[in-house]
């Protein structure tokens, strides 16, 4: 019986050591995949900030994630009072996978509460969206 107990204890130890090594090897892979997924799909990079003529309202344009190879880019337009940008709209810009710059947008304030944002991409006609910031 002593020999059988020793064998089962050794098996348990080996099993535990194998599990620990598997975790040690998998954690960096999970970290890398998670970081890549965050960068590609969720990371927000500010491209352009514009204030209304009286500086009470603000529009902030951010790129959401990064374009994959030749795909379109996701853009989120935040808007509201200067201190609280709690509203947003999402758009897609066909820009051949290239990085977006402030030149890809034209922001024109019609008055203090209304703004026209034109989205300009290499693979699309300029698209103008009108936003009522006072909502």
Q: Are residues 21 and 76 in the same domain?
A: no
* Per-residue confidence (pLDDT) for residue 109, from 0 to 100: 96
State residue 66's pLDDT score. 84
State residue 119's pLDDT score. 96
- Which neighbouring-strand residues pair with 87? 79
Tens digit of pLDDT at every position of the chain (135 positions): 688 888 899 999 999 999 999 988 899 998 999 898 888 888 999 999 999 999 999 999 999 988 777 789 999 999 998 878 889 999 999 988 888 999 999 999 999 999 999 999 998 999 999 999 986
Q: How many CA atoms lie within 13 A of 20 on its CB side?
A: 6
8 with 38, same domain: the answer is: yes
* 114 phi/psi in degrees, rounded to 5: -125, 135
Q: Which domain holds residue 103?
A: 44-132
Asked if residue 54 and residue 37 are part of one domain, the reply reads no
CB 119 within 8 A of CB 105: yes
CB 123: neighbour CB atoms within 10 A? 12
Q: Is 58 found in the same domain as 119?
A: yes
For residues 108 and 118, give the distance between their C-alpha atoms in angstroms, rounded to a whole number: 8
């Amino acid at each position: 019986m002593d020999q059988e107990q020793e064998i089962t204890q050794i098996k348990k130890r080996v099993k535990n050591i194998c599990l620990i090594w598997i975790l040690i090897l998998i954690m960096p892979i999970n970290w890398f995949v998670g970081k890549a997924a965050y960068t590609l799909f969720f990371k927000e990079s500010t491209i352009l900030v514009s204030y209304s003529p009286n500086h009470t309202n603000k529009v902030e344009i951010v790129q959401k994630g990064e374009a994959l190879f030749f795909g379109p880019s996701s853009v989120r337009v935040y808007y509201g009072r200067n201190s609280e940008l709690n509203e947003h709209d999402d758009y897609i810009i066909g820009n051949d996978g290239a990085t977006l710059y402030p030149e890809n947008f034209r922001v024109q304030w019609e008055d203090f509460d209304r703004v026209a944002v034109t989205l300009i991409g290499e693979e699309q006609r300029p698209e103008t969206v009108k936003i009522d910031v006072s909502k």
